[in-house]
């Protein structure tokens, strides 16, 4: 059975387990996850025993050529056809996922009598398995390797944007299809902005360099951040860097199946707070990574999720001194029963 | 006044005109359009006389540095702060835009007593003005020019993906920051799939080549499609090509301020139907283009919108013969009082 057909089976098992009759899905991310067919405007109905896809006419032939394990049609009214099928099969408890729906579409489902139900596909997506893990590893390996290639080329006078372009090319040359988000290249004080928009600023002598980047490889995202000092580091930079590095190490060491994600956050945060920089760590510690650059689980002070073997998360503490510099160190890691595997090895 | 401050004024004018007190916005597209600050998770409240932005702590300093015409804060509870401000200012009729909201966020606004109201920001965005037009022209000029550069390089044996990469590089070398969507490069029968996913397929002798592409330049998207025959065209290809070309010409000729978008669709569609290929034109004629690759207005058989000077739309009829070849010809055009300006000149 191919990986997508197996995912549909897994979803059907979840339906049974949760006493649901069917679920409707309409976002490319979910329908692509279940079919391997990555196009917008494909609607799916998955019951405990069947799976149907409804789409615009212009996609039908292509879909049929590529997906032989889902019943496909291109009705004039897609929403009407979904409803009809639900009635025909007497699927009483049909649900939609509030977290994947737009306001308009979600309310359309509600009008049709479908109920909200959270976490079906996101829990399937959070735990990676089989060939998916290999693909994610490759995505992270490309990103990790790129750092060693780009670093020696970042010289005084180069702009952030020129580094952005070259880094992108380096990853594509290794097989990446694109960037997993808008890469953040921050020189000097720009490194202190966690979501800095890469600019035409040139690198001066003796400045911090922060690179937060990742690629997409066969639809899977990688995420990594490295910070270093270009030139002779100041005492303050050395001190802050050492704190963030130790914090990140503590976070990675805390990762293990069965651990709450907020305990991974604490491991990072406590270290930074104890060192007196708590107020400068102004974001959560991490997030799941996979088909989306940000997906389940969340890793912050409030998150209640428990790590499972096969989840992939980032661990990325940082300290940001506005107007001066920032340091963030981030790896993507794969949760295992005994700890974790660092995927973004440099 | 800078362009963003002016847009906020325009939105405030629309609020007054529609007898509304305020609108809440939470999507990057809209908050970026109104502030020039393009980051996720910035929430805005715009009343008839004021504008407030609420965001995570990690964005605040950066936002303040870049946007001096909006009151900015980073409260612990962003949604709480929005509500409090609405109460404080006694903004009775506060609305949200259903078409820009996620299911969860939209319902949160509803719970807070805000009402649905459509089309405020999309109507502002649909009509391009001032420097925005110059930027869009540049985006389309880059795309148009790229065709002449890539075409002579598409030779027998090259893969669709290698053309994708080179086209991307060509546009970036001219200043584009990226692609405006997943470029569609279809060789042979792949040209008959309107949403073909560019693949490793190699170009053979005597095959159709369809290239649907565009770039992002300073956040503005361009969109263009060209089809041609690599080698000696068959009679059937020549015939179909001539029909699509004439249909597209008829569509462009129909564009003018005051015209209904569905009449532009008819102009294209009637031509193809009259030639006997109506059943093979399996999609709408076009869409608005700007900050998004697909935005208001829609141009299809059902659309009720009326063209205004300053709107930018695509005109892109096509005929698709499954298993054989497809022909689509597309330009992005700027609507004027007397007709239109073709933006994607090759």
Residue A149 tokens read as: 């290639």
Q: Which residue from B323, B320, B327 is spatially nearest to B209, judged by alpha carbons?
A: B327
B172 vs A195: CB contact, 8 Å cut-off? no
Nearest to B38 among A99, A197, A283 (CB): A197
- What distance in Å separates the CA atoms of residue B54 and residue B70, rounded to the nearest whole number? 10
The residue of B67, B118, B195, B200 whose CB has the most chain A CBs within 10 angstroms, and thus the best one to mutate to test that interface, is B195
B195 vs A59: CB contact, 8 Å cut-off? yes
> How far are the Cα atoms of B137, B249, B266, B285 from residue B301, in angstroms, in the given order?
27, 18, 7, 8
- What distance in Å separates the CA atoms of residue B289 and residue B298, rounded to the nearest whole number? 10
For chain B, the residues whose C-beta falls within 8 A of a C-beta of chain A are 38-39, 56-59, 61-62, 98-99, 101-107, 165, 172, 193-197, 282-283, 320, 322
B58 vs A320: CB contact, 8 Å cut-off? yes
**What average pLDDT score do residues A290-317 get?**
96
Predicted local confidence at residue A228, as pLDDT = 98
Nearest to A165 among B57, B106, B172 (CB): B172
**What average pLDDT score do residues B153-181 get?**
95
Predicted local confidence at residue B1, as pLDDT = 75
Side by side, the strands of the sheet bearing B115-116 are B71-73, B51-54, B43-47, B22-25, B94-96, B115-116
Chain A residues touching residue B106 (CB < 8 angstroms): 103, 106-107
Side by side, the strands of the sheet bearing A207-213 are A184-187, A207-213, A224-230
Nearest to A57 among B172, B196, B282 (CB): B282
Chain A residues touching residue B98 (CB < 8 angstroms): 103-104, 107
- Asked whether the predicted pLDDT for residue A283 surpasses 90, the reply is yes
Q: Is A42 exposed, middle or buried (0-12, 13-18, 19+ CB in 10 A)?
A: buried
- Asked whether the predicted pLDDT for residue A1 surpasses 80, the reply is no
ipTM of model: 0.84
Domain spans of chain B, in order of start: 3-126, 131-342
If you count DSSP H runs as helices and E runs as strands, how many of each does chain A have, helices first? Answer: 10, 19
**What average pLDDT score do residues A226-252 get?**
98
Q: Do residues A268 and A249 touch, judged by C-beta distance below 8 A?
A: no
Nearest to A104 among B99, B193, B196 (CB): B99
Give A246-290 as a DSSP string.
HHHHHHHHH--TT-BHHHHHHHHHHHHHHTT-GGG--S-SEEE-S
- Asked whether the predicted pLDDT for residue B212 surpasses 90, the reply is yes
- pLDDT band at residue A212 using 50, 70 and 90 as cut-offs: very high
User: Between chain A and chain B, how many beta carbons pairs sit less than 8 Å apart?
Assistant: 70
Chain A residues touching residue B103 (CB < 8 angstroms): 98-99, 101-103, 105-107
A56 vs B104: CB contact, 8 Å cut-off? no
The residue of B35, B38, B58 whose CB has the most chain A CBs within 10 angstroms, and thus the best one to mutate to test that interface, is B58
Q: Do residues A342 and A252 touch, judged by C-beta distance below 8 A?
A: yes
> How close does chain B come to A41, measured CA to CA in Å?
11
- What distance in Å separates the CA atoms of residue B41 and residue B55, rounded to the nearest whole number? 6
* Percent of chain B clearing pLDDT 70 (strictly above): 100
- Asked whether the predicted pLDDT for residue A87 surpasses 80, the reply is yes
- Asked whether the predicted pLDDT for residue B69 surpasses 90, the reply is yes
> How close does chain A come to B250, measured CA to CA in Å?
23
- What distance in Å separates the CA atoms of residue B42 and residue A287, rounded to the nearest whole number? 19
Nearest residue of A to residue B190, measured between CA atoms: A62
Nearest to A99 among B38, B104, B197 (CB): B104
> How far are the Cα atoms of A39, A65, A75, B88, B197 from residue A59, in angstroms, in the given order?
8, 10, 12, 51, 11
pLDDT digits (tens, 9 = 90+) for B83-97: 999 999 999 999 999
Nearest to A58 among B106, B165, B194 (CB): B194
Predicted local confidence at residue B130, as pLDDT = 86
- What distance in Å separates the CA atoms of residue A300 and residue A294, rounded to the nearest whole number? 13
* Percent of chain A clearing pLDDT 70 (strictly above): 100
DSSP annotation of A203 reads: P
pTM score of the predicted model: 0.85
B105 vs A102: CB contact, 8 Å cut-off? no
Nearest residue of A to residue B60, measured between CA atoms: A193
Residue B344 tokens read as: 């994607």
> How close does chain A come to B161, measured CA to CA in Å?
10
> How far are the Cα atoms of A173, A337, B178, B287, B333 from residue B337, in angstroms, in the given order?
47, 67, 32, 19, 13
- What distance in Å separates the CA atoms of residue B201 and residue B157, rounded to the nearest whole number? 9
Residue A323 tokens read as: 């107007």
**Residue B86: which residues within 8 A CB-CB, separation 6 or more?**
B22, B45, B94, B112, B114
B56 vs A165: CB contact, 8 Å cut-off? no
For chain A, the residues whose C-beta falls within 8 A of a C-beta of chain B are 38-39, 56-59, 61-62, 98-99, 101-107, 165, 172, 192-197, 282-283, 320, 322
Q: Tell me what the pLDDT averaged over chain B comes to.
A: 96
- Tell me the CATH number of domain B3-126, given options 3.40.350.10, 1.10.760.10, 3.90.1530.10, 3.40.1390.10: 3.40.350.10
Residue A110: how many CB atoms within 10 A of its CB?
16
Q: Under CATH, to which class is A131-342 assigned?
A: alpha beta
Provide the sign of the torsion angle of the four alpha carbons A302, A306, A311, A316, taken in this order. positive
Predicted local confidence at residue B170, as pLDDT = 96
What backbone phi and psi angles, to 5 degrees, belong to A48?
Answer: -60, -25
Q: Which residue from B160, B162, B164, B169 is spatially nearest to A166, judged by alpha carbons?
A: B169
Which element (helix H / strand E) includes B221?
strand B220-221
A197 vs B39: CB contact, 8 Å cut-off? yes
* Percent of chain B clearing pLDDT 90 (strictly above): 97
Chain B residues touching residue A101 (CB < 8 angstroms): 102-103
pLDDT digits (tens, 9 = 90+) for A88-102: 999 999 999 999 999
pLDDT digits (tens, 9 = 90+) for B245-271: 999 999 999 999 999 999 999 999 999
> How close does chain B come to A344, measured CA to CA in Å?
25
Which element (helix H / strand E) includes A44?
strand A43-47
> How close does chain A come to B150, measured CA to CA in Å?
19
DSSP annotation of B241 reads: H
Cα B212–chain centre separation: 14
Q: Do residues B222 and B215 touch, judged by C-beta distance below 8 A?
A: yes
Predicted local confidence at residue A241, as pLDDT = 98
Give me the residue label for tokens 């870049």.
Answer: B66
Nearest residue of B to residue A281, measured between CA atoms: B58
Nearest residue of A to residue B279, measured between CA atoms: A57
Predicted local confidence at residue A130, as pLDDT = 86
**What average pLDDT score do residues A196-223 get?**
96
Predicted local confidence at residue B78, as pLDDT = 95
B61 vs A193: CB contact, 8 Å cut-off? yes
Q: Do residues A44 and A33 touch, judged by C-beta distance below 8 A?
A: no
**What average pLDDT score do residues B209-233 get?**
97
> How close does chain B come to A314, measured CA to CA in Å?
18
H-only helix segments in chain A: 3-17, 28-35, 57-66, 78-88, 103-111, 120-126, 131-150, 160-173, 235-254, 261-274
The residue of A38, A61, A103 whose CB has the most chain B CBs within 10 angstroms, and thus the best one to mutate to test that interface, is A103
Which element (helix H / strand E) includes B161?
helix B160-173
**What average pLDDT score do residues B207-232 get?**
97
> How close does chain A come to B196, measured CA to CA in Å?
8
Q: Do residues B260 and B299 touch, judged by C-beta distance below 8 A?
A: no
**What average pLDDT score do residues A127-139 get?**
95
pLDDT digits (tens, 9 = 90+) for A3-29: 899 999 999 999 999 999 999 999 999
Q: Do residues B313 and B255 touch, judged by C-beta distance below 8 A?
A: yes
> How close does chain B come to A254, measured CA to CA in Å?
25
* Percent of chain A clearing pLDDT 90 (strictly above): 97
pLDDT digits (tens, 9 = 90+) for A160-192: 999 999 999 999 999 998 999 999 999 999 999
Nearest to B282 among A39, A58, A195 (CB): A58
Nearest residue of A to residue B27, measured between CA atoms: A102
């Amino acid at each position: 059975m191919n990986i997508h057909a197996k995912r549909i089976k897994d979803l059907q098992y979840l339906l049974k387990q949760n006493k649901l009759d069917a679920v409707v899905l309409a976002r490319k991310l979910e329908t692509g996850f279940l079919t391997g067919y990555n196009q917008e405007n494909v609607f799916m109905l998955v019951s405990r025993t069947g799976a149907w896809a409804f789409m615009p006419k212009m996609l039908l032939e292509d879909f049929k050529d590529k997906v032989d394990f889902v019943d496909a049609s291109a009705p004039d009214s897609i929403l009407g056809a979904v409803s009809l099928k639900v009635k025909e099969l007497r699927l009483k408890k049909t649900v939609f996922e509030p977290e994947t729906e737009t306001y308009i579409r979600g309310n359309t489902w509600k009008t049709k009598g479908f109920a909200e139900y959270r976490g079906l596909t996101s829990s399937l997506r959070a735990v990676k398995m089989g060939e998916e893990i290999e693909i994610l590893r490759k995505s992270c390996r490309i990103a990790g390797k790129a750092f060693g290639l780009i670093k020696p080329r970042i010289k005084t006078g180069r702009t952030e944007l020129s580094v952005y372009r070259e880094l992108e090319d380096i990853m594509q040359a290794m097989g990446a299809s694109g960037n997993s988000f808008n890469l953040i290249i921050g020189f000097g004080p720009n490194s202190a902005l966690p979501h800095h928009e890469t600019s035409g600023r040139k690198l001066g002598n003796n400045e911090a360099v922060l690179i937060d980047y990742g690629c997409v490889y066969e639809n899977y995202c990688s995420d990594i951040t490295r910070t270093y000092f270009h030139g002779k580091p100041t005492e303050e930079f050395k001190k802050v860097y050492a704190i963030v590095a130790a914090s990140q190490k503590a976070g990675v060491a805390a990762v293990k199946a069965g651990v709450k994600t907020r305990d991974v956050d604490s491991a990072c945060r406590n270290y930074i707070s104890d060192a007196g920089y708590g107020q400068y760590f102004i974001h959560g510690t991490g997030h799941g990574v996979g088909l989306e650059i940000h997906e389940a689980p969340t890793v912050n002070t409030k998150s209640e999720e428990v790590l499972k073997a096969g989840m992939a998360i980032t661990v990325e503490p940082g300290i940001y001194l506005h107007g001066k510099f920032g340091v963030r160190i981030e790896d993507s890691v794969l949760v295992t029963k005994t700890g974790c595997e660092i995927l973004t090895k440099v």
